[in-house]
């Protein structure tokens, strides 16, 4: 039986929980960076940690707008960063480190667990934001939550790609092509 997610009724509570989730994501990713051996996975976690900080700041801005402490026009709804995709991270890492695919594919014993934890966090977050957006009464909040859901969806897809790549780089290249 599938467990149903409970979304808070009050917008302030939705944002408070969102902030807590982003803080947990940030802690998880910064800890993961310390333990993961795979350079692609490490770079992905570093970037995701940055994005979690951005999400936290933007959530705080929305909260301030709801409280009347900030104009909605000054709220950063969209991320100003380049979208997190596996292709972006992979291409940049390969160019920066000039490594062979074998080196990019090497990893430690706990790397898959670190990436799986990240996948689970992003999956939960994308679902939470999507469901919260459906219940939002304020159109600006709804739009913001939809944007966050989309960003978390991109994170989720990128992490799934990293996981596939780490599991079997040769098969990944055979099925995904090259950049």
CA distance 14 to 24: 15
Decide if 60 contacts 22 (C-beta within 8 A). no
Q: Is residue 4 part of a domain?
A: no
**Most distant pair of Cα atoms in the chain: their distance:** 54
Q: Is residue 5 in a domain?
A: no
Residue 86 has pLDDT above 90, yes or no: no
Number of folded domains in the chain?
Answer: 1
Secondary structure element (H or E) that encloses residue 51, with its range: helix 39-66
Q: How confident is residue 41, by pLDDT bands cut at 50, 70 and 90?
A: confident
Residue 113 in any domain: the answer is yes
Mean pLDDT over each residue of the chain, to the nearest integer: 84
Average pLDDT over residues 86-100: 56
What is the domain-level CATH number for residue 100?
Answer: 1.20.1260.10
**Alpha-carbon span 85 to 90, nearest angstrom:** 8
For residue 56, being part of any structural domain is answered with yes
- Is residue 124 one of the residues assigned to a domain? yes
1 is a domain residue: no
Lowest mean pLDDT among 8-17, 53-62, 69-78: 69-78
The pLDDT of residue 128 is 96
- pLDDT, tens only, 12-31: 999 999 999 999 999 999 99
> Average pLDDT, stretch 140-157?
94
**pTM of the full structure:** 0.83
Say whether pLDDT at 94 is over 70.
no
Q: Which domain holds residue 171?
A: 11-75+82-176
Is 6 contained in some domain? no
CB distance 144 to 78 below 8 Å: no
């Amino acid at each position: 039986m599938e467990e149903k997610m409970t979304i808070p009724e009050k917008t302030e509570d939705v944002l408070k929980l969102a902030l807590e989730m982003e803080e947990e994501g940030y802690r998880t990713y910064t800890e993961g960076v310390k333990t993961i051996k795979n350079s692609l996975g490490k770079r992905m976690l570093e970037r995701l940690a940055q994005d979690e900080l951005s999400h936290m700041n933007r959530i705080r801005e929305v909260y301030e707008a709801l409280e009347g402490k900030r104009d909605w026009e000054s709220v950063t709804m969209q991320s100003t960063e380049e979208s997190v995709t596996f292709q972006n991270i992979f291409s940049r890492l390969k160019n920066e480190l000039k490594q062979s695919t074998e080196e990019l594919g090497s990893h430690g014993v706990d790397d898959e667990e670190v990436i799986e934890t990240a996948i689970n966090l992003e999956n939960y977050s994308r679902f939470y934001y999507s469901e919260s957006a459906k219940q939002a009464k304020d159109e600006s909040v709804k739009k913001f939550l939809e944007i966050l859901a989309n960003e978390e969806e991109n994170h989720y897809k990128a992490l799934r790609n990293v996981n596939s790549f780490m599991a079997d780089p040769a098969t990944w290249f055979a099925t995904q092509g090259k950049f």
